[in-house]
Chain A
């Protein structure tokens, strides 16, 4: 048994007097796909942002690929370059073309020559299905295309872990599938993924485990089968009934 790639022990996070995370523990194996869901304000987004330290935790321990996240700045940049992140609002760089968005970090962080970075970028654009958009600017693309570029941008660093923070919530309904297809392909390729989403079809298809967050705590976790057919906690049942009602 290899050691887990992410270990979180009793992670706490306060915003002033408000306790956003109240002791979250989680271990993620290499290649696992984890789906995190829960009501808004439950701390799920805060939690995955502590994994690449966009948020600092104040108590507890987070170890990513053997490196503990502390206040040491060198650690943080190194850890972040191994973790890709996809945001709800895409957050592409509007002043750079699609190609430049993807090659920026490989060129400046990995110090790849431009030719190599662009070659990898085109491979990734083909993988997410939009190689013809390479020279365009983010503002000229649809939401679904932008999110696929954002996934390609994160993958360009060849990360060991991918974090998805509600990747389809800001998309028009007809564009959700094209993004989910890319994510499913990524999941079956063996990438370690932590995905915040309420797309339960996606969860059923590829998630190995699911975590239900409420009020800064993991209320319940288990395989998709366990969560959907025999949820133990009342809050889980209530929430699932609310999002699966239609």
Chain B
């Protein structure tokens, strides 16, 4: 019944069906015998590890397994949580899980070092108990000056702002600076010729208190100035930097103990194969999205400098082929950056892909922003929402929903475009496969290898566009507008 309706409904349909059957037969006759009997699929199986993770050490490959397992668990859990009705805490848990998972996965893959009590005390000791510093009385000014500065700023903050967060910050800063100076303060100091020895803390605490008192009265008199409150935002990081310089002078004299290696470091240049392909595309997608949204908003900004920078960035990047950007990221990037800032080739490729994608996303998002009617902005403003909330709560959500298909299309094309890094010499899936077919052992397996690559890219891309359609459906894009 189905066949008669759909395949032989009219004479034109019948003709098309016959043509299609013929075409399928031709393709199958050419390829099936090769697929089933001649193809040497062993080339994939024997290079399983290399294709999967490149030069990542085989004895560390279990970490990839754990990472994959974590992702799977998170995936299944979120699938389950998404079906729960309403706003359950499980959903929030899942969102947090997805947010922190990139960091955890990165640490898992690259390995990590953690400071141990030994390294912490060693480093603190390095800064505070340097033998060439301690005996010198005049070096006491370091601790004293730091205490005075921090005390002053904490006092000003306390006096200026009744907000609890700011007051907590002031208290924490005072405790921290005391803690930093404590090892120095416990040392006794000889006063006068009589050999009266008192702990330096006896001198230090009053100094901190003096700073606090003085700062508080100063802060109280500044309280009407809004600018003074804004200045605090700059003052705190600035003071932290100054105090670090005072306390350490940044000069290196004594050997420090390196932090302990919890997981063996495997630097990104060793990552390869499917692992590299997935990492490259995930990183580009994750980072390009916020950058792209910011660029799109920047392009519509009323501030001329922000607008000019956004337009310039978007137009330049969109005007250059991805391959060129990848080469520039490899060759030119180090020229623009200070000598000490060295990134490995994988990170440079990630940066190139991210900026490229961000520029395209920015234009997609801008299209979405344009279809949100101005009345929506007016309605939001009339409720008293600030411009930040108008954009973040009313305009952006509508704009992004409208362009989900285009955004996901861009993501799929990023994923496929990662194969271009093979040209700049990275061993992603395609790069690895190309090097495999050049080995004498596997000569003549070109078809098998490329068919495998095609299948891999197809499955992932299809999965992504399927996910996009699910996302659209669950956000109700079609039926709510």
Contact = CB atoms under 8 A, between A and B. Distances in A.
Interface of A: 52, 54, 77-78, 80-85, 87, 89, 91-95, 104-105, 108-109, 137-140, 153-154, 157, 163
Given A91-B378, A91-B379, A137-B476, A104 B393 contact: yes
Contact of B382 (A52, A89, A139): A52
Contact of A95 (B379, B382, B386, B401): B401
B480 interface: yes
A80 B389 CA distance: 14
Contacts of B384: 77-78, 80-82, 105, 109, 157
Interface in B364-401: 375-376, 378-386, 389, 393-394, 397-398, 401
Contacts, number: 70
A166 to B, nearest CB: 13
B480 A93 contact: no
- Most chain A CB inside 10 Å of its own CB: which residue of B375, B383, B393: B383
Given A52-B381, A94-B398, A137-B476, 17 more contacts: A77-B384, A80-B383, A80-B384, A85-B379, A87-B379, A91-B375, A91-B379, A93-B376, A104-B385, A104-B393, A108-B389, A109-B385, A109-B389, A139-B479, A139-B481, A153-B383, A154-B383
Contacts of A105: 383-385
A137 B480 CA distance: 7
A105 B481 CA distance: 22
A153 B481 CA distance: 19
Contacts of A84: 382-383
Contact of A80 (B382, B393, B398): B382
Question: By DSSP majority rule, is chain A's interface helix, strand, loop, or mixed?
Answer: mixed
Interface residues of B, number: 21
Nearest to A91: B379
Nearest to B375: A91
A175 B379 CA distance: 22
Question: By DSSP majority rule, is chain B's interface helix, strand, loop, or mixed?
Answer: helix
A128 to B, nearest CB: 17
A44 to B, nearest CB: 17
Contacts of B397: 95
B398 to A, nearest CB: 5
B475 to A, nearest CB: 8
B383 A87 contact: no
Contacts of A54: 378, 381-382
Contacts of A108: 385, 389, 393
B478 to A, nearest CB: 11
Contacts of B378: 54, 87, 91
B398 A95 contact: yes
A157 B383 contact: yes
Contacts of A139: 479-481
Nearest to B398: A95
A223 B379 CA distance: 31
A56 to B, nearest CB: 12
A89 B481 contact: no
A140 B480 CA distance: 7
B365 to A, nearest CB: 15
Nearest to A137: B480
A90 to B, nearest CB: 8
Contacts of B401: 95
A6 to B, nearest CB: 15
B149 to A, nearest CB: 32
A83 B381 CA distance: 11
A186 B480 CA distance: 30
A52 B384 CA distance: 9
A6 B389 CA distance: 27
Contacts of A87: 375, 378-379
A76 to B, nearest CB: 8
A104 B383 contact: yes
Pick the 9 closest A-B CB pairs, nearest first. A81-B384, A91-B379, A105-B383, A85-B382, A80-B384, A137-B480, A91-B375, A109-B384, A139-B480
B481 A94 contact: yes
9 contacts: A52-B381, A80-B384, A84-B382, A87-B375, A95-B397, A104-B383, A105-B383, A109-B384, A139-B479
